[in-house]
Amino acid sequence: MRTASNRRRRAGRALLRSLLNALFALLAGASVPTSAQTAAGLTQQTVIARAAEVYATRLNDHVLDGDARFAARVNAIAATLIARARRDYPETADWAWEVHTTSDPDQNADCMAGGKILISLAYIQRLELNDADLAMLLAHEIEHAALRHNLKEYQQALLLDPRWASRPFLELEHAVDNDSGLMDQLASTNYEQEVEADREGMLLAWRAGWPAAQLAGYFRKMYRNSAEPRRSKPDYPSPQLRWQAARELAATLQKNYVQAPTEPLH
């Protein structure tokens, strides 16, 4: 009972932090979208504010940081990557970064706009990820946020169908993940974003000090764990293609650089 009570208190504190971060974003001028706000004029600040709101709700649905050793491990690795991201992407230096863990088997890992990270122990255990693998996974997710992939996805939807501009932003937000027609139209964009996050994620983790060959090991484990390792989807490259690309990039880095450069390559 004491353990469950402590977990509830930790979850409550995490939720409070996220709600406060959302409030600070609002006070800083990043308006949280309302049901009446249209998608026209959508900004990164608005996307970040909305992400903080959604993240707070998600945290309330999970038992957070229940495994103290795993949470400490994730936070230590994430700290090195976040420090590097703040150098490579100055915008992210002002983000209210948050890192939390869960044991939920339905959760893998993600980093929402504004640096809101949630990662599952169950996923890490299933793939038997070591620290370098975990660094690659986190770096991939961090790059989705640093490269503004959410905002770019919304902008692409607006280009595909300008009628979205006059509709509530929250409808567009729901549609990109649930409207099959729009999702089909955005599939190539999502595919390109996954490839970009793989590439830039490896570079980010490498610049943070992780050996490229070790980082590529994450994709090998993903490949071996997949039920269909050679099957690509319209919005997602196959594990085989991702592993191949990771090996090639790692070999290039190992061949051309003795150590990671002090400045980003992109």
Asked if residue 27 belongs to a domain, the reply is yes
Asked if residue 100 belongs to a domain, the reply is yes
How many whole angstroms separate alpha carbon 206 and alpha carbon 250?
A: 9
The one-digit pLDDT tens for each residue of the chain (266 residues) are: 333 444 444 444 544 454 444 444 444 445 555 555 777 889 999 999 999 999 999 999 989 999 999 999 999 999 999 999 999 999 999 999 999 999 999 999 999 999 999 999 999 999 999 999 999 999 999 999 999 999 999 999 999 999 999 999 999 999 999 999 999 999 999 999 999 999 999 999 999 999 999 999 999 999 999 999 999 999 999 999 999 999 999 999 988 775 566 555 54
Asked if residue 261 belongs to a domain, the reply is no
Asked if residue 191 belongs to a domain, the reply is yes
Asked if residue 263 belongs to a domain, the reply is no
Q: Are 48 and 113 spatial neighbours (Cβ–Cβ below 8 Å)? A: yes
Asked if residue 95 belongs to a domain, the reply is yes
Domain count, the chain: 1
How many whole angstroms separate alpha carbon 96 and alpha carbon 114?
A: 7
- Inter-CA distances, 118 with 23, 96, 141, 258, Å: 20, 14, 10, 33
Asked if residue 265 belongs to a domain, the reply is no
Q: What is the span of the domain harbouring residue 203? A: 2-256
Asked if residue 264 belongs to a domain, the reply is no
Predicted model pTM: 0.85
Length of the chain equals 266
